[in-house]
Amino acid sequence: MGSANLKLSRRQVLGVAAGGVVGAVGFRYLTLQLPGAGQRVASAAGAGGAWASPLGTSAGRAAHLLRRATFGYTAAELDSAASMSYPDLVDMVVNQQAQSLPRVADATDYQAVVRAWYEHMATTPAQFPERMTLFWHGLLTSDYRKAARLPFVVQQNELYRSTGRSDFRTLVNAVTFDPLMIRYLDLEESTAAAPNENYSRELMELFTLGVGNYTETDVREGARAFSGIRTVLVDANGQRIQPPKLKGSTPAAYAQALQQLIAQGATFKGVLARTQHDDGVKTFLGHTGNIDPAQALDIVLSQPACAAHIARMALVQFCTPVPSTSLIDSVATQFRNSNYDIKTLMRAIFTNEAFTSPDAYRSLVRGPADYMVATMRALNSPSLAAMCMRSGAAMDQILYDMPTVAGWPSNQGWVSSGAWLARLNFAAGVIASQRSFPDPVDAVHTQLDGVVGPDTASVFNASQSDGDRWYALLASPEFQLK
């Protein structure tokens, strides 16, 4: 903050408006005063109150949507978004075309893939497809260890990016034949003689229906229907070829041989090996017949519980920590009536009045990846991707390394003494790595809507440098919320 001159940007004016418009008890406002001129950022009201919602303003709604549907924004991106009508902005966001992950030199190097993904999350203009990639990764989970030295992580990551906004039927069919999933939930081991129950169970329990909407018999019969799925390597013409052998090779030579095949257009894909598949009659979720994987998935998707389950998962991540039954029903109905169109699902969430009601403001907690990428974007500093990759563990989120098949916690589940220290220490590390900073007072308005609590205002005002002010901002409770 070099200058003591008081400059009122449009965003600062919005900050005042946000505080001034809402007359509720306990709202916060930001006075437009700068340090160095005997003027201070200030905040009123006591503890325990609600945040003053700026969602009655177009800029407030735009920032709110971008914090949730994307990974945050620079000041310029927010200006552009705030100039659009809210429905147009939702359409623009939802219709963004995905951009592929830039090629990773060694696609079998999981850390290189995750680092590239962090950088892509920070830099791609196709923010919504990227956010959906993270959402599906958190729901249709996996573990990098199962990929061993094969490029399965990047392949699944790209699947969620390319297919994660199409329709859920296409997505769940693709996932069932995705090489990483085939390994992660032991489909690879499942034979007609000894069907493995892992995928059948988690598909219904976690991915589509939820507990209570299937029986243990359905788990066993489903396992029969999903038996025989195997991963093969095919060349650019779809002809099956043999993967290189690790045995008798060095890891480097193996990786090179694999890279060469991939560069020539080879991909891994799941197929149904008929000789390993149980083609007997099964009774699965009330349907009897010679059910194969695609038919089993159709049966799952025909259950009323499916749309509600996905709607609830999406609402908790994107809308409200406690979605009401009527909200879930409303979104689920639109989702199911659209034949599981995922853009319809997300548009239904973003345009629901629950999304922009005053209660919705700062009602979600940014997950660690979300928080770290938003930091990179606020500072326009994608070079922090490696730091993000290293820092996730202490905040309880390592991409492609979930604690369980149910994925990560959400909202208040992210909060613990250790995880919160890790967030603040990430902010400290980020500040230490930066040579210069965007204007921090502007950032209070763009990133925090000018709606700050008394503690943040006080620490911000006591700061002696732009680095200290940015620390106050990035470490603040306000920036952890969306």
Partner 1 sequence: MITRRDFMVSGITATSVGIIVPPVFAKSVFAATIEDVHNDNVLVILQLGGGNDGLNTVIPHADPAYLQARPTIGIPADKVLPLNAEIGLNPVLPGMKKLFDAGEVAIVQGVGYPNPVYSHFEGLYIWEHADPSMQQTEGWLGKLLASQLDSQGHPLTGCALGQASTPSELLAQNATVSVIDSVPTYQVQGGAGRRVAAPALYKKTPGIYGALFDQALTTAEYGIAALADSQSRYTPSVNYTPQSTVYGSKNSLATSLQLTAEMIVTQPSVKICHVVLGGFDTHQDEDTRQNALLAYVDSAVSAFMQDIANHGMADRVVLMTWSEFGRRVVENGGKGTDHGAAAPIFVVGKPVKGGVFGEQPSLTKTVDSGNLQYNIDFRSVYQTLIRDWLKADPTAVLGASFPELPIIQTA
Does residue 195 bind partner 1 (CB under 8 A)?
yes
Q: Which is nearer to partner 1, 127 or 213 (CB)?
A: 213
* Dihedral over alpha carbons 275, 278, 281, 286 (to 10 degrees): -140
Closest by Cα among 439, 438, 191, 207 to 310: 207
Q: Which is nearer to partner 1, 313 or 349 (CB)?
A: 313
Q: Which stretch binds partner 1 (CB under 8 A): 131-139, 167-175, 192-200, 251-259?
A: 192-200
If residue 210 lies in a helix (H) or strand (E), which one and from where to where? none
CB atoms within 10 A of CB 336: 21
Does residue 64 bind partner 1 (CB under 8 A)?
no
Does residue 458 bind partner 1 (CB under 8 A)?
yes
* Dihedral over alpha carbons 401, 406, 409, 410 (to 10 degrees): 120
Q: Which is nearer to partner 1, 59 or 209 (CB)?
A: 209
Does residue 461 bind partner 1 (CB under 8 A)?
no
Task: Find the shortest distance in angstroms from Cβ 189 to partner 1.
Answer: 3
Task: Find the shortest distance in angstroms from Cβ 278 to partner 1.
Answer: 11
Task: Kindly tell me which residue out of 365, 372, 388, 443 binds partner 1, with binding defined by CB under 8 A.
Answer: 365
Q: Which stretch binds partner 1 (CB under 8 A): 98-106, 126-134, 357-365, 378-386?
A: 357-365
Query: And the tokens for 163?
Result: 């297919």
Does residue 472 bind partner 1 (CB under 8 A)?
yes
If residue 25 lies in a helix (H) or strand (E), which one and from where to where? none
Per-residue contact string for residues 379-418; x = within reach of partner 1 by CB under 8 A: --------------xxxx------xxxx--xxxxxxxxxx
Task: Find the shortest distance in angstroms from Cβ 314 to partner 1.
Answer: 13
Task: Find the shortest distance in angstroms from Cβ 430 to partner 1.
Answer: 10
Task: Kindly tell me which residue out of 12, 176, 459, 470 binds partner 1, with binding defined by CB under 8 A.
Answer: 459
Residues 32-51 that bind partner 1 (CB under 8 A): 45-51
Q: Which is nearer to partner 1, 100 or 433 (CB)?
A: 433
In one-letter notation, the amino acid at residue 473 is L
Alpha carbons 375 and 390: distance in angstroms, whole number: 15
In contact, 243 and 258? CB cutoff 8 Å: yes
Query: And the tokens for 239?
Result: 């002809």
Q: Which is nearer to partner 1, 97 or 417 (CB)?
A: 417
In contact, 264 and 236? CB cutoff 8 Å: yes
Does residue 106 bind partner 1 (CB under 8 A)?
no
Alpha carbons 80 and 165: distance in angstroms, whole number: 24
Task: Kindly tell me which residue out of 1, 166, 316, 329 binds partner 1, with binding defined by CB under 8 A.
Answer: 316
Alpha carbons 473 and 370: distance in angstroms, whole number: 16
Residues 204-223 that bind partner 1 (CB under 8 A): 205-206, 210-211, 216, 219
Task: Find the shortest distance in angstroms from Cβ 49 to partner 1.
Answer: 5
Task: Find the shortest distance in angstroms from Cβ 43 to partner 1.
Answer: 9
DSSP 138-199: HHS--BGGGGTTSTHHHHHHHHHHHHTTSBHHHHHHHHHT-HHHHHHTTGGG--SSS---HH
Task: Find the shortest distance in angstroms from Cβ 226 to partner 1.
Answer: 13
DSSP 27-41: --------TTTT---
Alpha helices (H) along 338-393: 342-350, 353-356, 368-379, 385-391
Distances from the Cα of 262 to the Cαs of 31, 79, 112, 369, in angstroms? 57, 42, 17, 29
Does residue 95 bind partner 1 (CB under 8 A)?
no
Task: Kindly tell me which residue out of 6, 194, 281, 386 binds partner 1, with binding defined by CB under 8 A.
Answer: 194
In contact, 370 and 395? CB cutoff 8 Å: no
Q: Which is nearer to partner 1, 207 or 350 (CB)?
A: 207
Q: Which stretch binds partner 1 (CB under 8 A): 74-82, 184-192, 240-248, 369-377?
A: 184-192
Q: Which is nearer to partner 1, 382 or 454 (CB)?
A: 454
